[in-house]
Amino acid sequence: MKALVTGGSGFIGSNIVKLLRGEGHEVAVLDNLSSGYRSNLALFPEVQLVEGDVRDAALVNRLAQGVEVIFHLAASVGNTRSIEHPIDDSEINVIGTLRVLEAARRGGVRKVVFSSSAGIFGELKTIPIREDHPVEPDTPYGAGKLGAEKHCLAYAKLYPLQCICLRYFNVYGVNQRYDAYGNVIPIFAHRMLHGKPVTIFGDGEQTRDFVNVRDVAMANYRAGMNRGVSGAFNIASATRVTVNRLVELMAEASGIEPIVEYGPPRPGDVRHSLADVSAANKAFGFDPGVTLEIGLKEYMDWAKTALV
């Protein structure tokens, strides 16, 4: 199969490239390197990396020619960034997705696998969260991802193009770097490796559903190989861990004993998050198997060389 991975130099995209290459597929990447790294693809010199923007219609049309599946990950990522830059968020995440869909339709692409987010749900009302949980996004990022999902599903109705939208919960793993908008695991890892205290907001008994990036890459792969299904699906581990236990597991995985500080609970933080992934299991065999013990060991080993 010939695949195009937009955002393929980023954290999740580069893990999808690795899996696709391991399965012997031909891969091209479109990435403007705004938050991705050329070095993430260093082990795959045969992968064509086209440095460009997903909003560039002519470029995306050209790259979609002869492609069977597009894995569309290129995005302005995160709630905080979207609040600071709402127009960029929508131009890249909504219009950029439409560019990909248009190119896919014109190029005869069989399937688009779109990286959506649990951010579409907004405030979580019930757990475990199923796909029919109310969608009431509370940031431009969540609203844009929901809009992009709706475009994907409308194209799947209008044209002979299948689209699967994957709503990721908290993804972690190798190639996830620390930045100002970072997630909790890279922030804690970075601080532990630099001998700085880690701050837990609230009592630490809040729970989160962390899914390893290898499972997320496999979800993309199975969704791409699947024939016939279109729809939107939760992608998570379907297990939850308290933040206190997460820090203990990170300590065990790294051999570093962190200094833990507690801060006031952050307004808007949900108490518990847990996803139901049975729909993705039924539709395309998604079966997350990387435990936090294994995933955090891999991550901390990688972080010791990459995050210092």
61/170 with CB nearer ligand NAD: 170
12 binds ligand NAD, rule: CB under 6 A: yes
Backbone conformation region of residue 285, classed left if phi is above 0, alpha if psi is from -120 to 50, else beta: left
150/256 with CB nearer ligand NAD: 150
281 binds ligand NAD, rule: CB under 6 A: no
Where does this chain touch ligand NAD (CB under 6 A) — which range of 5-13, 123-131, 155-163, 255-263? 5-13
246 binds ligand NAD, rule: CB under 6 A: no
Query: Is 141 one of the annotated active-site residues of the chain?
Result: yes
Within residues 14-73, the interface with ligand NAD by CB under 6 A covers 30-36, 53-55, 73
* Contacts with ligand NAD, 180-219, as mask; x by CB under 6 A: ---x------------------------------------
Where does this chain touch ligand NAD (CB under 6 A) — which range of 8-16, 149-157, 241-249, 269-277? 8-16
SS (H, E, C) 180-206: CCCCHHHHHHHHHHCCCCEEEECCCCC
Within residues 71-110, the interface with ligand NAD by CB under 6 A covers 73-77, 92, 96
61/260 with CB nearer ligand NAD: 61
Residue tagged active-site, from 37, 141, 159, 181 = 141
Within residues 139-168, the interface with ligand NAD by CB under 6 A covers 168
299 binds ligand NAD, rule: CB under 6 A: no
Catalytic positions are 141
